[in-house]
Chains A and B, each alone.
Chain A
């Protein structure tokens, strides 16, 4: 209920409104909580922390625990210290997988970077159908890895390879090339497929970087008499370096821990010759059921990746500082 009262603004009649009578302490506490920045930050961050804890910290801690235990499928196991790491290090297949992981990451990254850069420079020019070419270039990156790798597997098939058929019909070979039935060939096939798949990511990111470079700089360099290579090396490359480093960091992490591509393409064979750390860890941990040993193998990736990422980020920070 309301009744007219005096004292409205500018002498106008006001209106007394009957409001529910609040408890005196309520707003004060609420206000205090809302104004407390620490509590507010905690409230806002807690869902993220919870998610990170569930999906990153827990599996990581679990993985560390497994690697230090004799856990096998269906058996909890007991603490064995570094035994699994020592066993892995003395395993010849592990050492092959370890070496393969470095070779695979190094060459795939080199190829993706150089071809991606070349593609980005080409796409940075103006030509008819530029948008269609840019969009279609992303296809290898968009198609699910398993699907595209299956297609490659068919192309490298030991018996029915279309590539062998083409090379044979063109007169380049007289016997079939052992694409997947020879370890060295197998690893290079995997590097080829990884390059094919990852190159668009490099190209599109570097292209974005290229487009942020002011054309005036190139024009000025041209007026100073710089040729194409000099313009690239002295103008484009220094400005593109930070973006390149970020892309390389991402790529190294993804390639070093790659699983799907090798699993589908070679399964780690022939005779374990193309295993990477991730596929060998899966073979031991999941297929054979030796979860402790599998976890130890996969954890070998951690310090290597940590060092690589730390070095690259440190370099990036120095670049930004300069």
Chain B
């Protein structure tokens, strides 16, 4: 091989002609840290298709690392304090407010997506927006509804799901007597615990803080909600739920141990995708016996908490521009649609635009409630702002623990006072 041939074959001639190295060869590597998705197809889509495509389109190499969701916050803290780690990190809830001093301003990217897709859902925007600045780019909202076994509900006398929380308790009592308790976590776990406990406050007209941000928990509404939870826990629930994480209720439901549980759509999706393995007590595929309903109404309404997801670009990253470009690319309709479709309704998208996606027409009727679930959501910190203090209160599981302590025997007013005292240390 002569000198000319060598340069051609190694591509060096092209580089010399262009006067600069191609983007990929410059070695820009992006490290994206996310949770292990409850719908494995979502991670596969990112790992095998979208991120390699992004690599080609943007001239970067993207490495996806997935970890247990409960380990995300410790990883974020370690990364920020050491000033090194993933360039982009996935967040849940309103976490970006807690880490705002370490987040790159991504207003241009987020506003571009919002403008293109008709605006974010309220909680998706509140979760990441500090004043006029976006701290992270929204990446979907996970709807949380109650998955239930239709046949068992019918046996217990309910042809349709309960409309009120009192009806739910009465039905749950009958179900538990028949050996099919409701299963719910009141443990320290990232998703199902707050998505179950916070709406209980709101649906009884209680709130952790007022509009000015001061503690407002000490109220008769709070005590009423705690009393309801205590009775519901004792009468209707599998009491092992104190020690459950976000995966336990999935496993218990799919094993036929519980009749209902608040969850993302992953139970139904798993039951359908593994229908040869996941059967009911008659040997039939379980997915046919599963449907969903929203948290029933309390005296003050029927609110849910549907969890907003987002991606932060970290200030310590040396690749902030490529990282923002990647989020812009992933959030664009064409790319996000590919991921959205394999998620089969587990993610509802961050904007109403995704409610019109043809996917919803293809999904089973049992899944269709997830299409608009994100509309009836409040966010952690309500009725105050979902700021860093609200995130701190969430991270300490103060609201969840208030219900757990009462369900374990503490008097409802005492549990309320204990939680109020903890919140006052944060909110004043």
Measured CB to CB, the residues of A under 8 A from B are: 73-75, 87, 91-93, 157-160, 176, 178-183, 186, 266-272, 282-291
Contacts and interface: CB of A to CB of B under 8 A. Distances in A.
Nearest to B396: A288
A54 to B, nearest CB: 15
Contacts of B186: 270-271
A23 B100 CA distance: 65
B157 interface: no
Given A269-B243, A271-B408, A272-B401, A159 B252 contact: yes
B240 A159 contact: yes
B76 A73 contact: yes
Contact of B408 (A75, A87, A182, A289): A182
A171 B304 CA distance: 43
Contact of B98 (A160, A181, A289): A289
Interface in B307-340: none
B152 interface: no
B117 to A, nearest CB: 30
10 closest cross-chain pairs (CB), A and B: A158-B240, A270-B242, A271-B404, A74-B101, A180-B243, A181-B242, A288-B395, A74-B102, A181-B243, A271-B401
B209 interface: no
Nearest to A159: B252
Nearest to B393: A288
B291 to A, nearest CB: 22
A74 B99 contact: yes
B145 to A, nearest CB: 21
A173 to B, nearest CB: 14
A93 B421 CA distance: 12
Contacts of A158: 238, 240-244, 248
B76 A270 contact: no
B99 A73 contact: yes
B10 to A, nearest CB: 44
Contacts of B187: 267, 269-270
Given A73-B80, A73-B99, A272-B397, 20 more contacts: A73-B77, A75-B101, A91-B422, A157-B248, A158-B238, A158-B241, A158-B243, A159-B240, A159-B257, A179-B243, A180-B240, A269-B188, A270-B186, A270-B242, A270-B404, A285-B77, A286-B77, A289-B73, A289-B76, A289-B99
8 contacts: A73-B99, A74-B101, A75-B101, A91-B422, A158-B238, A159-B240, A269-B243, A271-B408
Nearest to A273: B408
Contact of A288 (B243, B248, B392, B422): B392
B413 interface: no
B254 to A, nearest CB: 11
Contact of A181 (B81, B188, B241, B395): B241
Interface of B: 70, 73-74, 76-78, 80-81, 98-102, 183, 186-188, 238-245, 248, 251-252, 255, 257, 392, 395-397, 401, 404-405, 408, 418, 421-422, 425
Nearest to B78: A286
Contacts of A159: 183, 238, 240, 248, 251-252, 255, 257
A176 B240 contact: yes
A262 to B, nearest CB: 12
B14 to A, nearest CB: 43
A75 B101 CA distance: 7
A186 B243 contact: yes
A267 B186 CA distance: 13
A261 to B, nearest CB: 15
A168 to B, nearest CB: 14
A100 to B, nearest CB: 15
B425 to A, nearest CB: 7
Given A74-B80, A267-B187, A289-B99, A181 B396 contact: no
A192 B102 CA distance: 42
A285 B392 CA distance: 11
Contacts of A75: 101
A72 to B, nearest CB: 8
B168 to A, nearest CB: 21
Contacts of B245: 267
A298 to B, nearest CB: 15
Contacts of A284: 396
Contacts of B102: 73-74
A87 B425 contact: yes
Given A181-B243, A182-B408, A290 B392 contact: yes
Contact of B243 (A92, A160, A266, A290): A266
Contacts of A178: 239-240, 242
Contacts of A176: 240
B397 to A, nearest CB: 8
B73 A287 contact: yes
Given A75-B101, A270-B242, A183 B188 contact: no
A269 to B, nearest CB: 5
Which of B77, B81, B243, B408 gathers most chain A CB within 10 Å?
B243
Nearest to B415: A271
B364 to A, nearest CB: 27
B240 A181 contact: yes
Contacts of B78: 286
Given A158-B244, A159-B248, A291 B81 contact: yes
A182 B233 CA distance: 14
B98 A73 contact: yes
Nearest to A274: B243
Contact of A92 (B101, B392, B395, B418): B418
